[in-house]
A and B are shown apart, each in its own frame.
Chain A
Amino acid sequence: MQEWANQLCENRQFGSKMTDSKYFTTTKKGEIFELKAELNSDKKEKKKEAVKKVIASMTVGKDVSALFPDVVNCMQTDNLELKKLVYLYLMNYAKSQPDMAIMAVNTFVKDCEDPNPLIRALAVRTMGCIRVDKITEYLCEPLRKCLKDEDPYVRKTAAVCVAKLHDINAQLVEDQGFLDTLKDLISDSNPMVVANAVAALSEIAESHPNSNLLDLNPQTINKLLTALNECTEWGQIFILDCLANYTPRDDRESQSICERVTPRLSHANSAVVLSAVKVLMKFMEMLPKDLDYYGTLLKKLAPPLVTLLSAEPELQYVALRNINLIVQRRPEIMKHEMKVFFVKYNDPIYVKLEKLDIMIRLASQANIAQVLAELKEYATEVDVDFVRKAVRAIGRCAIKVEQSAERCVSTLLDLIQTKVNYVVQEAIVVIKDIFRKYPNKYESVIATLCENLDSLDEPEARAAMIWIVGEYAERIDNADELLESFLEGFHDESTQVQLQLLTAIVKLFLKKPTETQELVQQVLSLATQDSDNPDLRDRGYIYWRLLSTDPVAAKEVVLAEKPLISEETDLIEPTLLEELICHIGTLASVYHKPPSAFVEGSRGVQHKRLPGSAGSGESVDSPETTSTAGVSDAPPAVIPSQGDLLGDLLNLDLTPTTAGPPPPAPSSGMQLGGMDLLGGGLDSLLGGDLGGTPAIGAGFGAAPAALPASFSAPVSGGLDDLFDLGGGVGMPMGAYSPPKSVWLPAMKAKGLEISGTFARRAGVIQMEMTLTNKAMSVMTDFAIQFNRNSFGLSPAGPLQVLTPLSPNQSIEVALPLNTSGPVMKMDPLNNLQVAVKNNIDVFYFSCQYPISMLFVEDGKMERQIFLATWKDIPNDNESQFQIKDCHLSSDAASNKLQGSNIFTIAKRTVDGQDMLYQSMKLTNGIWVLAELRIQAGNPNYTISLKCRAAEVSQCVFQSYEAVLKN
């Protein structure tokens, strides 16, 4: 540092320009004394020069704290520039000289009453930065005055000072009533004061999540929205970020806030745009999907997001990370914007990688040709990480878009021909996945792959290649030689490769037992006797015993048919995704991690949730619910005695209240943390003899007005029912999901009760269950299995019940499903037989899923293809149904159906009758075409369904009915 200062003065000495850098010349040794003298000089100019020298020394990191009293002596000056410098010095050294810092207090108090507002503001700004406990209390009076100052510049500075003081001594700020003053400033006439007050309050609220500081109500929201139009770009961000924490009471309020926030999308500052996007993405959850405005809003979001990509690269990066989230949550927003994500040669690497990620997410049949051409281009670049990711992307496209698989494979083969080592390895890894997705289709390329065996030096590629050789051993003449060549360096391989080699050779042996006996013995002994890796040894012994005791069983185990792999491998888990959407623009959205994962001391902080899906507590708590639910007299915290409660619930009028409260969302994911004992208790109390039939559920749903908010969590099934009965108020979130019903009554399952439903969320089919323990002992070790079924539904992972389930407790579980399980036609078609195991026993039940869960997101057929297909399907396959008592307009119906991936392709109006032509695609690739006829004024719709597999029509019709009527 010293060096810099010296060198600097040398450089400058000869320059004609006299700049601040001359002050750096005095920091040579032994000059503190000299400075001291200058600071105490009578001449103003000399004093100022001396302070500048001190600051210069401070800047280069030299300790000039010894001059503290002398510098503070210069504080009383009417020269603003000098005052600023002294204040700056104070901020830096006050903490190291707390006793002397007191000397400054008087001047602060005096400066806060200076006639010049610049000085008043400067004093109040600096005061808060002096983090010395002793002096904080002296600062309260000046701060109080400044908060009421006539000059808005002083008030806006004082508002921030409250946050500073709160950070040093929260108790003091509360005792002094500053928080209330700060809240009053939200109604200030000056927009900048409002903005800073909001920022200060948000900051305080963030560090004290339970303080309930920001109790936003419609009045304050209105004030904020007004200030939004008038304050600086930064103020707009503070206000938008604060708005994002609000939960509107109903969809109407939600819409009106959205309408006032959308103009911000045209702001030149990217951060304003992203904060506005956050508010809109969040509040959109509450809008019914059939609302015209919902569609308008969706359309408005894409252009500003695209424009963010012309910002500076760092801002582009933040935008891309956020678009990645938005695309997962609402794929429809960006689906036509593929081109803007094409990579430019001069993009920084972090932008390139993010663009690539989004390209894969947006890849669909419609754009796959273009995407592939681009990916191929990227794969011949030089940036290793980028190239690898591009090759991987080609593989993912093949798996995602079936029609493109062949082209992808040939592209990969072309790339393998380039012989660029890492390209070849990456290609082999992805080809393995393609084999798994499309068995018995592309094995002809194996020969080409085998040619590159020797060049593979990365474990993942070696393992992939070995897997391929083992899996297709019967088609590779020299499979034994190939595998044997790997065996030589067995102990130098990584575990991944060793395990794969072991399995591959066992496979080979089972396929060609005669010629490979020696090989298999060799690998088994290598794995079991010469290895100290327990996993490897275990696997080795298992194979060994299997092969020696029952070769037939071994064959069944080792050569069993493998489950297919799923399309999207790296989707963010839905609850996390919801939380991240609430944090758009922040570091959390950049890291794709919840704030609790990287911010210290935030573990107690509530996870933000989207309004549609947050635990329904908030809305149940709201006054409006209390009044509409009808049992408003009981104070919320008092729990009626058991008998009374039962009586009340049973006597409740079950006809749905028409002016329903805002639909609290049925919880979508697992219930985090707050498993409430009380709730569980009441639940079981009811469930014991009434079995939670829908009617009781509905009554229950209306009741929580008299119960604590937390209560509603375990009975969300009941709440669900209420809103379904209410009709029309249904929660417009993703595909239609029927209310939970009891699948397994407790009496049939030794006290375990399971109720559940199915839902499709962000393209993932979920089985959502409530497990309730009504037995006397703790239940553990839950697991689940499905019988073969019509569409190959099977659990995508184990059943996540991590903690033991105590008596009278219940837990919400969301089990993601895939459709790669074994297939067997069931009757009815959508029947699913399930086995659930716990530490007590295994229980069986069957349930039926709405077939609409299987409608995939890319089920929109091209018009031309639709026409051709419609004609092509024989008329015998057409079935007609009536949907009675449906009062939606054709547009509303169409929007509603689209939520469940039933896409309207065309609409025709003949003689007042609307004909909607619609398509949907099942997970197994079966297309269903529909013609929906709606006559204005006639509540009965007619639907004709055409499908090559006519047996699904009945189920599809049921889904139509369920979706339209809910």
Chain B
Amino acid sequence: MSASAIFVLDLKGKVLICRNYKGDVNMADIDHFMPLLMQQEEEGMICPVITRGNVHFMWIKHSNLYLVATTNKNSNASLVYSFLYKLVEVFTEYFKELEEESIQDNFVVVYELLDELMDFGFPQTTDSKILQEYITQEGAKLEVAKTKVPTTVTNAVSWRSEGIKYKKNEVFIDVIESINVLVNANGSVMSSDIVGSIKLKTMLSGMPELRLGLNDRVLFALSGRDKGKTVMMEDVKFHQCVRLSRFESDRTISFIPPDGESELMSYRINTHVKPLIWIESVIEKFSHSRVEIMVKAKGQFKKQSVANNVEIRVPVPSDADSPKFKTSTGNAKYVPEKDLVLWTIKSFPGGKEFLMRAHFGLPSVENDELEGKPPITVKFEIPYFTVSGIQVRYMKIIEKSGYQALPWVRYITQSGDYQLRTNV
């Protein structure tokens, strides 16, 4: 159904650790993986599934590691990739960084985790907070605690343990909206959307029941309310703690939250947004002599708001040299290893317009390799503001002990995949 075995390889394809779950694929077949991958890379045709005979390798790369699942069946590929990414998540939460060294340093726990995370190719408990209750790094210390399976493992509420206690009961809600924009060289917006995410930091005792109220247009339409601004969410994805059937029937977001930090939900909004930071660029390339770049950035948001840590990356040819810059604000520098000019503006008020000019020399002998046309990309963060106008209307917290808890809300808008194509 899914994986026959899971391997963690280093960059050269050497097996660091592996676990054979089903025994129906020869474990030595993994030796073919790296040569095949390198062949694909050479041909410029890499693909997340590699086939050799009747063995299929499904792989992902994380820092200096390859995580590979093998199978000889018609496996559920999306399950396998989800699982591999889950593996990365769990290992990262256990070891802070997942890399070659952390695997070697913790091989006993890695084996234990591999044993617990998957059985005969079926993923099992993968919630690292719960796993940490009975699989721990310091074996000796926790001998006592480990004599019991946390009931959470098999509970319907498999993401929260019982008996959590806080002196002060609080929940922090972050509403973060990322703007994805793709602008053509002629300045027309090809596609734009908003991907929002609501993150929680829960510090609540016991088994609290939470209900989150948003100004969701569908909900308002259902309940016949028509006051105020509402937001139409194109698609919503929830953490597994949210009761999906409840949401489907009456749009109520009700859940027992995981303890600590988690992403409660994400949503996508299709409405056409005006790119918050608009870039106009003129890049003139005079072959064998120089490149001249003029970039104008304009804040297309309210005057009261300020975009922080704005970074505008402008690509330059790889053989450019002797950079010269002039900016009306902020700081521009050349990043030769990435072939770009990085223009940073710490604070960018709405409605303002700034200018940057750059001048590069080009060698007289031209690089005859064709270069791609990377787009200009922009990064920024605007606090206290969401583009979509989404609002947390309430967060009801009910726990049987009847304590009072405070919800805190914070709004941020930031750049997502923000690309403006250039004409050079």
Q: Do A and B bind each other?
A: yes
Q: Is the CB of B122 within 8 A of A196?
A: yes
Q: Is the CB of B153 within 8 A of A153?
A: yes
Q: Indicate if B238 sits at the interface (CB-CB under 8 A).
A: yes
**19 pairs from A and B in contact (CB 8 Å cutoff):** A125-B115, A129-B23, A151-B149, A152-B154, A156-B124, A167-B24, A263-B244, A266-B238, A266-B247, A270-B78, A274-B78, A306-B268, A310-B195, A339-B191, A350-B46, A383-B372, A599-B54, A600-B72, A602-B74
Measured CA separation A314–B79 after assembly (Å): 11
Q: Indicate if B366 sits at the interface (CB-CB under 8 A).
A: no
Q: Indicate if B82 sits at the interface (CB-CB under 8 A).
A: yes
Partner of B240, one of A8, A23, A232: A232
Q: Please give, as numbers and ranges, the residues of chain A lying within 8 Å of B239 by CB-CB distance.
A: 268
B residues 181-236 near A (Cβ < 8 Å) are: 182, 184-185, 190-191, 195, 234-236
Q: Is the CB of B51 within 8 A of A598?
A: yes
A35 to chain B, nearest CB (A): 16
- Which of B73, B182, B237 neighbours the largest number of chain A CB atoms within 10 Å of its CB? B237
Partner of A350, one of B47, B124, B156: B47
Partner of A267, one of B156, B244, B374: B244
For residue A381, which residue of chain B has the nearest CB? B372
Q: Indicate if B126 sits at the interface (CB-CB under 8 A).
A: yes
Partner of A52, one of B17, B108, B149, B266: B108
Q: Is the CB of A382 within 8 A of B370?
A: yes
For residue B234, which residue of chain A has the nearest CB? A303
Q: Is the CB of A20 within 8 A of B45?
A: no
Partner of B15, one of A61, A88, A203, A274: A61
Q: Is the CB of A587 within 8 A of B148?
A: no
Q: Is the CB of A20 within 8 A of B240?
A: no
For residue B153, which residue of chain A has the nearest CB? A153
Q: Is the CB of A167 within 8 A of B22?
A: yes
Given contacts A8-B104, A19-B106, contact A59 B17 (CB under 8 A): yes
Given contacts A85-B108, A229-B244, contact A587 B190 (CB under 8 A): no
Q: Please give, as numbers and ranges, the residues of chain B lying within 8 Å of A600 by CB-CB distance.
A: 54, 72
Q: Please give, as numbers and ranges, the residues of chain B lying within 8 Å of A374 by CB-CB distance.
A: 190
A684 to chain B, nearest CB (A): 39
Of the listed stretches A113-121, A653-661, A913-921, name the one at the interface; the rest are far from the partner chain. A113-121
Q: Is the CB of A345 within 8 A of B238?
A: no
Q: Is the CB of A233 within 8 A of B108?
A: no
Q: Indicate if A212 sits at the interface (CB-CB under 8 A).
A: no
Given contacts A167-B22, A199-B1, contact A344 B182 (CB under 8 A): yes
B residues 40-76 near A (Cβ < 8 Å) are: 44-49, 51, 54, 56, 58, 60, 71-76
Given contacts A21-B105, A313-B48, A342-B182, contact A266 B248 (CB under 8 A): yes
Known: A20-B108, A117-B148, A196-B124. 10 other contacts (CB 8 A): A129-B23, A190-B154, A206-B1, A234-B124, A266-B244, A271-B76, A315-B78, A315-B82, A350-B47, A598-B51
1/0 per position for A255-292, CB-CB distance to B under 8 A? 00000101110111111001100000000000000000
Partner of B74, one of A88, A200, A586: A586
Given contacts A192-B154, A350-B46, A382-B371, contact A268 B143 (CB under 8 A): no
Q: Indicate if A80 sits at the interface (CB-CB under 8 A).
A: yes
Q: Is the CB of A234 within 8 A of B126?
A: yes
For residue A374, which residue of chain B has the nearest CB? B190
Q: Is the CB of A131 within 8 A of B23?
A: yes
Q: Please give, as numbers and ranges, the residues of chain B lying within 8 Å of A381 by CB-CB distance.
A: 372-373
- Which of A121, A234, A274 neighbours the largest number of chain B CB atoms within 10 Å of its CB? A234
Q: Which 4 A-B pairs have the closest CB atoms?
A: A303-B235, A19-B105, A263-B244, A595-B74
Partner of B244, one of A199, A264, A380: A264
Of the listed stretches A157-165, A625-633, A641-649, A826-834, name the one at the interface; the rest are far from the partner chain. A157-165
B156 to chain A, nearest CB (A): 4
Q: Is the CB of B76 within 8 A of A585?
A: yes
Q: Indicate if B257 sits at the interface (CB-CB under 8 A).
A: no
Is chain A's interface secondary structure helix, strand, loop, or mixed overall?
A: helix
**Residues of B with Cβ closer than 8 Å to A?**
1, 14-17, 20-24, 44-49, 51, 54, 56, 58, 60, 71-79, 81-85, 104-109, 111-112, 115, 119-126, 134, 139, 143, 146-149, 153-154, 156, 158, 182, 184-185, 190-191, 195, 234-240, 243-245, 247-248, 263, 265-266, 268, 370-375, 417, 419, 421
Q: Is the CB of B76 within 8 A of A586?
A: yes
Measured CA separation A840–B126 after assembly (Å): 68
Partner of A270, one of B82, B104, B184, B191: B82
Q: Is the CB of A81 within 8 A of B108?
A: yes
Q: Indicate if A370 sits at the interface (CB-CB under 8 A).
A: yes
For residue A95, which residue of chain B has the nearest CB? B23
Q: Is the CB of A88 within 8 A of B111?
A: yes
Q: Is the CB of A164 within 8 A of B120?
A: yes
1/0 per position for A213-251, CB-CB distance to B under 8 A? 000000000000000011111100110010000000000
For residue A229, which residue of chain B has the nearest CB? B245
Q: Is the CB of A312 within 8 A of B105?
A: no
Q: Please give, as numbers and ranges, the residues of chain A lying within 8 Å of B73 by CB-CB distance.
A: 206, 599
B65 to chain A, nearest CB (A): 14
Q: Is the CB of B245 within 8 A of A116?
A: no
Measured CA separation A24–B105 after assembly (Å): 10
A906 to chain B, nearest CB (A): 24
Q: Is the CB of B372 within 8 A of A382?
A: yes
Q: Is the CB of B107 within 8 A of A56?
A: yes
Q: Is the CB of A118 within 8 A of B148?
A: yes
Q: Indicate if A25 sits at the interface (CB-CB under 8 A).
A: no
Given contacts A20-B106, A590-B77, contact A342 B122 (CB under 8 A): no
1/0 per position for A531-563, CB-CB distance to B under 8 A? 000000000000000000000000000000000
Q: Indicate if A174 sits at the interface (CB-CB under 8 A).
A: no
Q: Please give, as numbers and ranges, the residues of chain B lying within 8 Å of A266 by CB-CB distance.
A: 235-238, 244, 247-248
1/0 per position for A125-160, CB-CB distance to B under 8 A? 100110100000000000000000001110011001
Q: Is the CB of B147 within 8 A of A585?
A: no
Q: Please give, as numbers and ranges, the residues of chain A lying within 8 Å of B185 by CB-CB distance.
A: 377
Measured CA separation A314–B247 after assembly (Å): 29
Q: Please give, as numbers and ranges, the residues of chain A lying within 8 Å of B121 by CB-CB distance.
A: 203
B252 to chain A, nearest CB (A): 12
Measured CA separation A199–B21 after assembly (Å): 15
